[in-house]
A and B are shown apart, each in its own frame.
Chain A
């Protein structure tokens, strides 16, 4: 407990505040030896992780493996008990909130808005970090683009709290896209979405990476991860146990062990990317792998 609150000190934006775009394949964000405790339980036991421009990295794993916690560590939401997170080679502590907001955008799992702001106002808030900079001129265009890309233009004037779960998720994604940062950290962007919107959102994510952004996305659906990610990191009990291309990582042995459930991995009939199916017998209840 800190009895003496830090007095507010006016902070001038640094000279290097406006980021420039990195070359393809540059590491934008790197976590080294990430350890993180919640209460007296250690959730991450030394995770090494990096994301480069041009790639989509999927974080997958069973419930409680630490996927969202890795994202929280990368975004600076939770203090680390060990290790460090760097963005553009500088530790998170070395950046102001504003400078960070111009470099990475974060989509949380929950979307709550305290007051009945309209969807348009919410997406416009994504541009807040660029106020009073030359890139403010892009505000209107980027907000309109984000609305169109996420298929929410028709919701623009509805109050955010009145939207359905899936609509909120898409408006929140539009806000993150409007922020127009090089790195995107997305926590289950497809969780509340129907099949069509899941695919569409992952296509949007894919295109962002192809345009030179670095994207980290937490996913539950291994099929989506296989189809749209360049790299999949499998988390198990706070450790990364596999890190590689979808075909390298998605094997029956590894997934069966990590998810404690037998799976079959086949190739998608049209694209050939791995498809992960839980084993089911038509008559009896499924058995649990040891």
Chain B
């Protein structure tokens, strides 16, 4: 160990390294945005009414007041684009961004790459609310009552998990996760109960709601989800620097000046808003919140200032891609979105698990 006087020469090659890291970050972000734009245009082109990429762009430009590019040739083209496809594309991006962001935030405050919004009961809570409304209100319940119930019960469940896991003014990570397990179990029981007592048609609706779909996207829905997502993302971005410190553990973060409890409350609130908003209209979409932040961490490193934004973008990309698959993989069928994300996300998660085990010997 050098116990000499420290001189100027001990300065670390900080700047050069920062530059290299910044270059990589820029590349990833540019790539994500490019893929997002391409996917959005492709997604808007595909469907029963044929439209070309030029027509999609042209239609967009015309609405913005620029007389450039061709308008859709098909008589129903303009309406299809603006009333069916565009809201769906925008909603997919919003929901994906919300789920990715929520995952990054939750993994950050728990300092654990296994955390997922489902862990703190948001998704199952929302499902309880949704199935209750379907059973009580009958099959023809308005979508808005259903979404409202899902949103509220998702928020309430999260608050309950948090409140139940507090003691002495503090919350231990393990307690939160185990409380989540307990609350999720009860929620699962309630969903089973509602499914049992429901009429066959209502039962179908409960099942399909839980499978997740963007099929019902409208501009009104976008108008509700957008501000919720935006608020959640802004809070996440503000909390990001503190999440880095939380990786050192709860008490070290406190010793470094973080008001851990306050950060946790804000973060859990943000996650609840993001995920409840997303699932309320689309049902349960698995694994996006888990896999997206993990992949971005592999690509960009663990610093949350970039990770949160990368997860927002990548979440949007992944969900847009998954929805594209849901719409086009089987002709004339709208596959359940949650099914696709789970079928792809599950194996990806398993590979991540193997990888981490091989490298670190597990999460001890």
- Give me the interface of A with B, judged by CB distance under 8 Å: 1-9, 11, 75-77, 79, 96-98, 100-102, 104-106, 108, 110, 112-118, 120-122, 125-126, 128-129, 131, 140, 143-145, 147-151, 153, 156-157, 161, 179, 196-197, 200-201, 203-204
Most buried by B among A4, A114, A120: A114
Flag if A157 contacts B17 (CB, 8 Å).
yes
Selected contact of A115 from candidates B10, B17, B113, B260, CB within 8 Å:
B113
Contacts of A7 in B (CB 8 A): 265
Whether A75 touches B255, Cβ cut-off 8 Å, given contacts A120-B14, A150-B1, is yes
Interchain nearest-CB distance for A242 vs B (Å): 29
Flag if A148 contacts B2 (CB, 8 Å).
yes
Flag if B10 contacts A147 (CB, 8 Å).
yes
Contacts of B174 in A (CB 8 A): none
Interchain nearest-CB distance for A155 vs B (Å): 11
Whether A144 touches B10, Cβ cut-off 8 Å, given contacts A101-B256, A117-B303, A128-B245, is yes
Contacts of B251 in A (CB 8 A): 75, 77, 106, 108
Binding stretch for chain A, among B66-74, B80-88, B119-127, B160-168: B160-168
- Supply 14 further A-B pairs (C-beta < 8 A) apart from A5-B166, A131-B241: A1-B164, A8-B265, A76-B254, A77-B251, A98-B257, A101-B257, A114-B248, A115-B113, A115-B297, A116-B301, A117-B303, A145-B10, A151-B2, A203-B3
Whether A113 touches B12, Cβ cut-off 8 Å, given contacts A106-B255, A148-B6, is no
Flag if B162 contacts A97 (CB, 8 Å).
no
Flag if A112 contacts B259 (CB, 8 Å).
no
What's the interface size class on B, roughly?
35 or more
Flag if B111 contacts A115 (CB, 8 Å).
yes
Interchain nearest-CB distance for A44 vs B (Å): 17
List 6 contacting pairs A-B, 8 Å CB cutoff, sorted by A: A96-B259, A114-B112, A115-B297, A125-B256, A140-B14, A147-B12
Q: Does B186 contact A (CB under 8 A)?
A: no
Specify the chain B residue showing the minimal Cβ separation from A207. B3
Flag if A200 contacts B1 (CB, 8 Å).
yes
Interchain nearest-CB distance for B131 vs A (Å): 26
Specify the chain A residue showing the minimal Cβ separation from B4. A148
Selected contact of A117 from candidates B6, B249, B302, CB within 8 Å:
B302
Complex CA gap A1/B168 in Å reads: 7
Complex CA gap A6/B166 in Å reads: 11
Specify the chain A residue showing the minimal Cβ separation from B360. A161
Selected contact of B255 from candidates A8, A105, A143, A153, CB within 8 Å:
A105
Flag if B265 contacts A5 (CB, 8 Å).
yes
Contacts of A204 in B (CB 8 A): 3
Interface residues of B in 280-321 (CB under 8 A from A): 297, 301-303
Complex CA gap A125/B227 in Å reads: 33
Flag if B249 contacts A108 (CB, 8 Å).
yes
